[in-house]
Amino acid sequence: MLVYIFRHGESEAPAKGKGHATEERHLTPDGRMWAKRVVSVAEKEIGFRPAVILSSPLARAKETAEIARQTLDLKSEIQIEDCLLGERPFKDVYASLRKLKSPASVALVSHLPLIDHLLADLLGADSNIRLHTGAIAAIQCKGNPGHARGSLRWLLPPLQWFDGKQWPQ
């Protein structure tokens, strides 16, 4: 299975008195534009074409997933998965992936810290690998995804595609 790990696009700053992962945070206009451009470049240049898209239930991830679905002109619906919330253990993601009906490829749209831990675990790395906002990594897994069962095929950091603009941290 080819697993694409996609960190959501740039989102609004948290409102005062609200936590970092509040559901109300949406993508900024730049976040929308850049997510679309990253997906488009990834499709044309390196073959990004997931059969299935799974998303965290938070607004910024669902919006990023929908941008990917529309940009790629995919007919399948986005599946919302609680296991993709940022604080969930990556082993819950593996359990959800095992329940899928054997897709050749799946995109996971999620948040920190989950995606960094998931990426590291799939590769069998000792430390996290930081994905910038809007980045996509492609991991080829031997059989079902799990610890050290993946190899990095490519990693597309968004910065190189945005006319020299500094990507927000």
> Cα separation of 33 and 152, whole Å?
26
Q: Which CATH class for the 2-10+24-161 domain? A: alpha beta
The token pair at 137 is: 């990594």
Task: State percent of the chain over pLDDT 70.
Answer: 89
Structure confidence at residue 28 (pLDDT): 94
Which tens digit of pLDDT belongs to each residue from 53-83? 999 999 999 999 999 999 999 999 999 999 9
Q: What is the pLDDT of residues 79-135, one digit of tens each?
A: 999 999 999 999 999 999 999 987 899 999 999 999 999 999 999 998 778 888 899
**Taking 90 as the threshold, does the pLDDT of residue 164 lie above it?**
no
DSSP state of 140: E
pLDDT at site 158: 74
Residue 160 has pLDDT above 60, yes or no: no
With 0-12 / 13-18 / 19 or more C-beta atoms within 10 angstroms meaning exposed / middle / buried, residue 138 is buried
Residue ranges covered by each domain of the chain: 2-10+24-161
pLDDT of residue 23: 63
Nearest to 49 by CA among 101, 93, 6: 6
Q: Is the pLDDT of residue 151 over 90?
A: yes
